[in-house]
Amino acid sequence: MKGMKTNETLKTVQSLRTIHEGNFSDREISSEDLQLVLRASVRAANASARQSYSIIVDHAIKEKFSWPGEEVLLFCVDFTRIVDTARYLQLDFDAEYMMQFLTGIIDTSLAAQTAVIAAKSLGIDSLITNRVYHTDLRKTYELLNLPKKGCFPLIAVCLGYPAREPEHRKGRLEGPGVIHHGKYHRLTPEEMDQLVQEYDDPKTYLGLVDDWHDKGFRHYLEWFYAKWSNEVGARVNAREFNEVLRKQGFLNDVTHTETYLPT
């Protein structure tokens, strides 16, 4: 907001934007800059100083999986190093339950986001994608020789320079329903109506598409729920996804699912 205090770090964070497929240039990323990004990435906060992740750095990954950008960093939830080290010391470390997986997701996501911020500070843009587990997971494990236990590919960070500047920076919600002061606050009907209107306003740049009205929808969020969300769900092979997680050991303690509804 105009008049608010800022500094170079805040400017870097506020300038983050996604460069989509086809919008990256062919300009190479120097090995020095790539190493700076990686060194910054591993400085991210992590649970119990374990760094329960691995970063696959391979220039050829983008060709193997048809991902954009000049360099791709694949961030995996990974307990292999931790388990192997414990066994080397003739000790045990149990990584095969859901809480460990959730902890690993947090560690991995923090490392990935830190890489994105570090890259942006060097003038390098990015695309963060979860497409890695929306596609053939077996192929990913095979091509990258990923461990068959305790490892799950979570986030791909595609790095590169833009061929052209995006027309605008995407908007973000920062009001009711996102930031809660004191205690959790469910949106009122009036606030939900305001939220729907905020997404409908083309000046906020909150949505994924601009032509939702041309497609016959009254509101952007109607398109999002009725069209986009269903298409994304159809692209995910839930059976394969759960099978891989179970083989990796992360679902060993999950016997049932409970749904919690407000009273």
Mean pLDDT by 10 residues, the chain (263 residues): 81 87 89 97 95 92 85 96 95 91 96 97 93 82 92 94 83 92 95 95 92 94 90 66 85 58 46
Residue 52 lies in a domain: yes
Which has the closest alpha carbon to 10: 19, 1, 18?
Answer: 1
**Domain residue limits at 83:** 15-166
Residue 229 lies in a domain: no
Task: Provide the pLDDT for residue 236.
Answer: 59
Neighbour-count burial of 105, counting CB atoms closer than 10 A to its CB (0-12 exposed, 13-18 middle, 19+ buried): middle
Which has the closest alpha carbon to 95: 79, 72, 108?
Answer: 79
Predicted confidence (pLDDT) per residue in 130-188, tens digit: 888 877 788 889 999 999 899 999 999 999 999 887 777 889 999 999 999 999 999 99
Asked if 212 and 221 touch (Cβ cutoff 8 Å), the reply is: no
Residue 125 lies in a domain: yes
Whichever domain contains 96, its CATH number is 3.40.109.10
Task: Provide the pLDDT for residue 256.
Answer: 46
Residue 133 lies in a domain: yes
Residue 162 lies in a domain: yes
Residue 5 lies in a domain: no
Residue 239 lies in a domain: no
Residue 122 lies in a domain: yes
The β-bridge partners of 127 are 158
Task: Provide the pLDDT for residue 254.
Answer: 67
Q: Which amino acid is at 161?
A: Y
Count the neighbouring beta carbons within 10 Å of the beta carbon of residue 135.
15
Predicted confidence (pLDDT) per residue in 198-213, tens digit: 999 999 999 999 999 9
Task: Provide the pLDDT for residue 232.
Answer: 65
Task: Provide the pLDDT for residue 58.
Answer: 85
Number of domains making up the chain: 1
SS (H, E, C) the chain: CCCCCCCHHHHHHHCCCECCCCCECCCCCCHHHHHHHHHHHCCCCCHHHCCCEEEEECCCHHHHHCCCCCEEEEEEEECHHHHHHHHHCCCCCCCCCHHHHHHHHHHHHHHHHHHHHHHHHCCCEEEEECHHHCCCHHHHHHHHCCCCCCEEEEEEEEEECECCCCCCCCCCCCCCCCCCCCCCCCCCHHHHHHHHHHHHCCCCCCCCCCCCCCCCCCCHHHHHHHHHHHHHHHHCCHHHHHHHHHHCCCCCCCCCCCCCCCC
Asked if 96 and 150 touch (Cβ cutoff 8 Å), the reply is: yes
Q: Write down the pTM of the prediction.
A: 0.86
Task: Provide the pLDDT for residue 158.
Answer: 94
Q: Which amino acid is at 259?
A: T
